[in-house]
Amino acid sequence: MTYFNKKDSAIMKAFSLRALLSPLVAVLCLLPLSGCSEDRPEPVLTGAEQPERYLPLLKAQRVGLVVNQTSRVGQQHLVDFLRDEGVDIARIFALEHGIRGNVENGGKVDDGVDGPTGLPIVSLYGGQYAPPEASVEDLDWLLFDIQDVGVRFYTYISSLHYLMQACADYGLPLMVLDRPNPNGDYIDGPVLEPEFRSFVGMHPIPLVHGMTVGELAQMINGEGWLDEGARCELTVVPATNYHKSDVYSLPVKPSPNLPNDLSIRLYPSLALFEGTTVSIGRGTEFPFQTIGHPGDKQGEFEFTPQPIAGASENPKHRGSVVTGDDLRMLDNQPRFSLQYLIDWSGRTGESSEEFFSRSAFFDKLAGTDRLRKAIVAGQDEEEIRRSWETQHQQFRERRQPYLLYPEG
């Protein structure tokens, strides 16, 4: 795969992904696959924290940014950093949760002006997912720097797909400043089937895919997942000193209802409850760290969901006492589990149809209707997992050419 800047092929050659990565991968492969500081004391540097790799490409260029509150260079927002470096920023494109991360799940994100910077904002959530041609025709680069959490239905990677499509359609190069995946140490969950493709799942990948945004962008290009197999001009600035086995703690919460490391690790398991009558703590100070339902008789933990501005303005079971399980004492590195879903399908006192109150949405999140049907049929977790084994192996092989970081 070749990476180039149509504006300056000589510079791009020097900064091609192959040139950037070859020495990096060679060095990383010599290091133990361990997250221990004794083995590898060098700190992880995100793509944004390596300006020497991308600033030469942006000088004297007109740039559009896809950023939010996670787009940081140390303690400084990327927008401010680039402006201090003299980069000509034309506008900001806003995804789900807005550029300041203060819009609730599914909330409308509007066009407008960013108060702190005065830059125009073009919304790519709530009305249109792809940037209109008029918003990119005067750009030389589109730059994407947003922290993802490594779960297929987390919509930042769906937005990435639409951005790549627009760049391919309009001949605009895309730069991805890569960041580690806090759920990047494993692969799990059902693989999306084509008939369940939606904005909460666009690619035939497992629910937990174990890839960074940069790796996935390369895979979208390489596997021909854009319309008619189109490819966009793609430059990925990888993180350094990062292994997929690393425990990576996010310095800024990626969205309003993922406030800490535990919520991010539980997110793949608990978000499936969004298609059921069960609460996973939206409307509390500990979202994605608890499970509850008014009809539960087994749990000893109680909470009452209430509206929280910018996070959960109309939470499930609003104002009702909910009984269930407090998961906040779990180890901070739990992996995807079906056991929560299987257990709770029999704890609410509801029929299967009542429990899966939003069955079509549940199937979109799962990427298949087979998971829901298996739970209704009484299959256990081990039996359900066996149905994914061949698909997982095929995915591991398919993604291999696009990986940028050693696996643990």
Q: What is the DSSP string of 54-107?
A: HHHHHTT-EEEEEE-TT-EETTEEHHHHHHHTT-EEEEEEE-TTTTTT-S-TT-
The whole-number pLDDT of residue 89 equals 97
Nearest to 58 by CA among 175, 223, 160, 196: 175
**Do residues 168 and 229 touch, judged by C-beta distance below 8 A?**
no
The whole-number pLDDT of residue 173 equals 98
Mapping DSSP onto H, E and C, the string for 329-380 reads: CCCCCCCCCCHHHHHHCCCCCCCHHHHCCCHHHHHHHHCCCHHHHHHHCCCC
**Do residues 120 and 132 touch, judged by C-beta distance below 8 A?**
no
CA-CA distance, 175 to 179, in Å (whole number)? 13
The whole-number pLDDT of residue 114 equals 79
CA-CA distance, 161 to 171, in Å (whole number)? 15
Q: What count of Cα atoms within 13 Å lies in the side-chain half-sphere of residue 288?
A: 25
Nearest to 190 by CA among 354, 343, 379: 379
The whole-number pLDDT of residue 16 equals 38
**Do residues 269 and 288 touch, judged by C-beta distance below 8 A?**
no
The whole-number pLDDT of residue 105 equals 59
Take residue 232 and report the two structure tokens written for it.
Answer: 């966009």
Mean pLDDT, 10 residues at a time, the chain of 408 residues: 36 36 34 40 93 97 96 94 96 84 58 82 87 95 98 96 98 98 98 97 98 98 97 98 96 95 98 98 97 97 95 94 96 93 97 97 98 98 97 98 93
Q: Beta strands 290-293 and 72-73: pairing type?
A: unpaired
The whole-number pLDDT of residue 189 equals 98
The whole-number pLDDT of residue 252 equals 95
The whole-number pLDDT of residue 371 equals 98
Strand order in the sheet with 141-145: 112-113, 120-123, 88-94, 62-67, 141-145, 174-177, 234-237
CATH topology of domain 9-251+395-402: Rossmann fold (3.40.50)
**Helices within 1-50 (DSSP H only):** 9-14, 17-29
The whole-number pLDDT of residue 100 equals 67
The secondary structure of residue 130, as a DSSP letter, is S
The whole-number pLDDT of residue 103 equals 57
**Do residues 288 and 266 touch, judged by C-beta distance below 8 A?**
yes
Q: Taking phi first (over 0 means left), then psi (-120 to 50 degrees means alpha), and beta for anything else, what does residue 378 get?
A: left
How many other CB atoms are there within 10 angstroms of residue 377's CB atom?
A: 10
> Residues spanned by CATH 3.40.50.12170 within the chain?
9-251+395-402
What predicted TM-score, i.e. pTM, was given to this entire model?
A: 0.88
